Amino acid sequence: MLQRPPHLLGIETLSREQIVFILDQSKPFQEFQRHPLKKLATLRGKTVAIAFFEASTRTRISFTTAASRLGADTMSLQAESSSLKKGESLIDTVRTLEAMRPDGIVMRHSSSGAPEFVAQRLEIPVINAGDGTHEHPTQALLDALTIRDRKGKLEDWNVTILGDILHSRVARSNIHLLSKFGARITLCGPPMWVPRELENLAPNIRRTPHIKEALDGADVVMVLRVQTERIHEPALAADEYIAGYQLTPERLRLARPDALVLHPGPMIRGLEIDSAVADGPQSCVLEQVTNGLAVRMALLYHLVGGAPADAPHPAKE
């Protein structure tokens, strides 16, 4: 069996085999979401700290639900109510959480590298739920699961990512993951959001500011959320973005007829994506949400479950 990594900090350092293992382990949990009774006792007695130092709704609900369906309890820390506002340092906050003896911590932070910093200092598994512009590994894993399910395999697709790539941890994690499986990746968006350095992330990356060129022959189209807080700096008007980069039914026809459309949410209809595409047969948006639960249950089961590392092993087989 595979050596289980103690944390999940990013996709970049995972091997293909580790990724396939997580995706395979998500399958039973996908099926579990269809059960009439969605409550296991598998992690009964375990506590998962859900520490979100940056606002989030869907990822936090997804992790909390995943923990709850496995039977674990959660303790929740949210940016709005946190003592960070009162000036406490990150390490003091997480040490305080750790003193309440959780068995793992799911963490989101606006600073890239914050989960790794915490992982080096705590004794419990850390799962990165998004850090700055660095990585959002569970999003990439659920996207990969969605692609593998819909297309039958994960290898060798033409993947186009549309939008603000520079600031997107979703894009970064997806680029790392899909390129490990031979994807040819096209990055497309306003030039200031698609700088040349991104080509160094992985082999087989090309950039283009022209959406028609980007969509030609695509098997998978990933639409990123336009972070409206960024759209005014440096000056880019919403209508310019819509004219140049909105995924419309006409533009989607340039991709392969069976191309998939993915969006990490929250979706802003009429800005980065047209409603007809968001609700169309090629859209995987709601499957992504359900698959997110399955992936997170599989990760919590393997990382948080089991005996604590320092506990004696009972001899019973």
Q: Which residues bind another protein (CB under 8 A)?
A: 1, 4, 25, 27-29, 31, 35-37, 39-42, 44-46, 298, 301-302, 305-307, 309, 311, 313-314, 316
Q: What is the dihedral of CA 32, 17, 296, 184, to 10 degrees?
A: -110
CA angle 298, 303, 304 (to 5 degrees): 100
Q: How far is the CB of 58 from another protein (least distance, A)?
A: 25
CB-nearer residue toward another protein: 148 or 172: 148
H/E stretch holding 286 reads: helix 285-304
CB-nearer residue toward another protein: 170 or 297: 297
CB-nearer residue toward another protein: 21 or 117: 21
| Amino acid letter, 89 | S
Residue 46 buriedness (CB in 10 A; 0-12 / 13-18 / 19+) = buried
Selection from 282, 160, 152 nearest residue 209 by Cα: 160
Q: How far is the CB of 263 from another protein (least distance, A)?
A: 28
- The tokens describing 46, both together, are 């375990």
In whole angstroms, what is the distance from residue 292 CA to residue 286 CA? Answer: 10
Contact of 201 with 177, CB cutoff 8 Å = no
Residue 294 buriedness (CB in 10 A; 0-12 / 13-18 / 19+) = buried
CB-nearer residue toward another protein: 127 or 218: 127
Distance of CA 267 to the CA centre of its chain: 15
Rounded to a whole number of angstroms, the CA Rg of the chain reads: 20
CB-nearer residue toward another protein: 234 or 312: 312
CB-nearer residue toward another protein: 1 or 235: 1
Phi, psi of 29 (to 5 degrees): -80, -25
CA angle 16, 18, 19 (to 5 degrees): 65
Contact of 122 with 105, CB cutoff 8 Å = yes
Q: How far is the CB of 299 from another protein (least distance, A)?
A: 11
Q: How far is the CB of 74 from another protein (least distance, A)?
A: 17
Q: How far is the CB of 281 from another protein (least distance, A)?
A: 25
Q: How far is the CB of 28 from another protein (least distance, A)?
A: 5
Q: How far is the CB of 101 from another protein (least distance, A)?
A: 14
CB-nearer residue toward another protein: 28 or 270: 28
